[in-house]
Amino acid sequence: MKIVVTGGAGFIGSAVVRHLLLQTQDQIVNLDKLTYAGNLESLADIADTPRYHFIQADICDRQTLDQILAEHKPDAIMHLAAESHVDRSIDGPAAFIETNIVGTYTLLEAARHYWKTLDAASQASFRFHHISTDEVYGDLEGTDDLFTEDTPYSPSSPYSASKASSDHLVRAWQRTYGLPILVTNCSNNYGPRHFPEKLIPHMIINALHGKPLPVYGNGQQIRDWLYVDDHARALHQVLLKGEPGETYNIGGHNEMRNLQVVETICDLLDKLAPERRPEALGSYRELISFVTDRPGHDVRYAIDASKIEQELGWRPQETFETGIEKTVRWYLENPTWWQRVLDGSYQLERLGA
């Protein structure tokens, strides 16, 4: 197959690109605008693969999208390009509306017009795979409730509202125009090469610098954690075997309170990097501090992933314990990657500065 991956320089996107290049013979066209969260250094190990082609482009640029699709003639589009940080969406929602809603609309229209140029067999096999989040469902009240593919949407933040909007657009293009679409909604991802503003890498890096580990509210918010490579495998399985028009929820079977996550990171660092701990501290846990909760903070997310497991045969390979240790070890072993993100040099180099 030839696959266009949008947002392939981001955290999840780069994991998908890497999986496809290392585990298949597919040709990959990575289309990424390279905003602050896009980092080509995350793909340095596969950048010279002959089956890989990178294009810096904006999904809001219809003319460029038309040119890319006409030239590369993909069999599928995996759409991961999105603004995704809740705190940033609260401070500046405009970028989320532009990228997640307008960008998805523009890409859908480019895909639809390209799809109409294909012969009947190619139209039938083409897929537009839209990758979304469980945050579109809002939060759960009961301790045993789970998000299913039929859970009504109730987004809480500008980010999740913009993703909910994009999900609706994708489904409308299938119903109205017949575009063969797939939608997946995943739980919180984590793993190597995660942008440092996110909870897990932020806590690892702050701890290594002896800085406070800020936990929102009382830290009792619950999330289901999905190792990013497990997610990449799931997305590939959906692309290959998913039924057009269907939605598949992807979860990690790892519900954890935010405070538990931070404490687990501290315990791992106590084991793996005791020499980096400030002398005055007996444990990295002593760096934990509680800060004012953010507006509209969802209490609990949890995914029912039985549909993808039963129909497509996917299950996560990593437990939280194995995945978080791999993650902490990666950050300890790859300080250059995250230091270049923190000081901005990963962006300056690509701009020729």
135 belongs to the catalytic site: yes
52 belongs to the catalytic site: no
Token duo for residue 95: 């970028």
270 belongs to the catalytic site: no
Tokens 């500046």 sit on residue: 92
Token duo for residue 132: 């979304």
Which is catalytic among the residues 134, 229, 263, 318? Answer: 134
How far, in Å, CA of 87 to CA of 208, rounded? Answer: 23
Residues facing 129 on adjacent strands:
78, 182
Token duo for residue 342: 């923190």
Which is catalytic among the residues 83, 135, 167, 224? Answer: 135
Which is catalytic among the residues 52, 159, 190, 227? Answer: 159
Residue 177 CA, chain-centre distance (Å), reads 27
Token duo for residue 90: 């609260």
How far, in Å, CA of 115 to CA of 109, rounded? Answer: 10
Q: Which of 15, 59, 30, 39 is nearest to 250 (CA)?
A: 15
How far, in Å, CA of 297 to CA of 302, rounded? Answer: 15
The answer for residues whose C-beta is within 8 angstroms of residue 215's C-beta and 6 or more apart is: 258, 259, 262, 288, 289, 290, 291
How far, in Å, CA of 118 to CA of 173, rounded? Answer: 17
Strands 76-79 and 2-6: parallel
Rg (the chain; Cα; Å): 20
How far, in Å, CA of 241 to CA of 125, rounded? Answer: 11
Catalytic residues: 134-135, 159
